[in-house]
Amino acid sequence: MNLPDDFVFSQTSLQDYVDCPRRFELRYVLRQRWPAPEVDDMLEFEARMEKGDQFHHLVHQHLAGIAAEKLLASSGDADVRRWFEMYLETGLEDVPEPRRPETTITVPLGEAMVLAKFDLLAVEPGGRALIVDWKTSERLPSAERLAKRLQTIVYRYVLAAGGDAFYGGQPIPPERIEMIYWYADHEGTTRRFPYDARQFAADAAYLEGLANEIATRPAFPLTPDVTRCRFCPYRSLCDRGVQAGRLEEWDDDEDEIDLTTFTLDIDQIAEIEY
């Protein structure tokens, strides 16, 4: 077994594994810290992340019942205000009640568990079950690309496998589930992903296969796709270059980046030779 007993998979860790087994090993098995920046302009990068966090926080507060006017008045950033106004205009269109922001569900996966933390879960008793994910990225990814992302696969799977508590104690039929990405910086454009029993079965087989492979594989090779290394903080450790990728080229639909494992450690920078 390569993983700690209490390990819980997420879409981020599974995406890391699919992108590069070695990155998964360094980050989650060895818990290796390596303070290289992901992009060349870390200040701008962190500012973007911070704005995204502010927007998510405003939406959460609004869904918790705080008046929109009060929240707008509290926000000083022009982009965040613009996104929040767009959310007020279209973000909740056709989203049923009850609406539960920041909801987490965890289900078994192989010998471990997998969790999904939904920005918004809206499940009508006996009716539709919507997962809404707020995005503040500058780029608008294609539906084809999003369909392959582990977030789309994991979120719908976890809700179908473990959403009983929100559906009168019964499993939610996959056909009632839909995942929606809503893009604040693109006038509320959505990318929608319905679900069905066939896809649920295929996702179960795929995710269990990944979990078993991770648990039993003897080694975690470096990805052969060196383009994945440009924005990876381990690139100097792997001898895959020292220069961070350009922020303008960063695939910012990956705005779920887990900054808790990417925290730039200023003290360590001076100690490590690139």
State the residue for tokens 């704005």. 51
Q: Is 23 in the site for ligand SF4 (CB under 6 A)?
A: yes
Q: How far is the CB of 131 from ligand SF4 (least distance, A)?
A: 28
Least separation in angstroms between CB 237 and ligand SF4: 7
Q: Binding to ligand SF4 by residue 18, rule CB under 6 A?
A: no
Looking at the Cβ atoms of 20 and 105, the one nearer to ligand SF4 is 20
The nearest distance, CB 49 to ligand SF4, in angstroms, is: 20
Q: How far is the CB of 83 from ligand SF4 (least distance, A)?
A: 31
Rounded CA-CA distance 109/158 in Å is 10
The residue count of the chain comes to: 274
Nearer to ligand SF4, 141 or 233 (CB): 233
* Closer residue to ligand SF4 in complex, CB, 90/223: 223
Q: Is residue 187 within 8 Å of residue 86, measured between CB atoms?
A: yes
Residue placing its CB nearer to ligand SF4 in the complex, 136 or 236? 236
Both tokens of residue 198?
């066939």
**Token code pair at residue 9:** 């998979």
DSSP 141-195: --HHHHHHSHHHHHHHHHHHHH-GGGTTTSPPPGGGEEEEEEEGGGTTEEEEEE-
Q: Is 28 in the site for ligand SF4 (CB under 6 A)?
A: no
Annotate each residue in 133-162 with x if it binds ligand SF4 (CB under 6 A) or - if it does not, as one string: ------------------------------
Q: Number of residues in contact with ligand SF4, rule: CB under 6 A?
A: 13
* 33 scored as a contact of ligand SF4 (CB under 6 A): no
**Cα separation, 113 vs 211, whole angstroms:** 9
Tokens describing residue 65: 């019942």
Looking at the Cβ atoms of 26 and 123, the one nearer to ligand SF4 is: 26
- The token pair at 191 is 């990318």
Q: Which is nearer to ligand SF4, 16 or 133 (CB)?
A: 16
What's the min distance (Å) between Cβ of 67 and ligand SF4? Answer: 45
Q: How far apart are CA 66 and CA 199, in angstroms?
A: 38
Query: Does 20 sit near ligand SF4 (CB under 6 A)?
Result: yes
For the segment 220-249, give every residue that binds ligand SF4 (CB under 6 A). Answer: 222-223, 228-229, 232, 234-235, 238, 240
Q: Are 206 and 212 within 8 A, CB to CB?
A: no
Q: What is the dihedral of CA 106, 55, 145, 166, to 10 degrees?
A: 30
Closest among 1, 20, 12, 213 to 115, alpha carbons compared: 12
Q: Which is nearer to ligand SF4, 108 or 221 (CB)?
A: 221
The residue ranges that bind ligand SF4 (CB under 6 A) are: 20, 22-23, 26, 222-223, 228-229, 232, 234-235, 238, 240
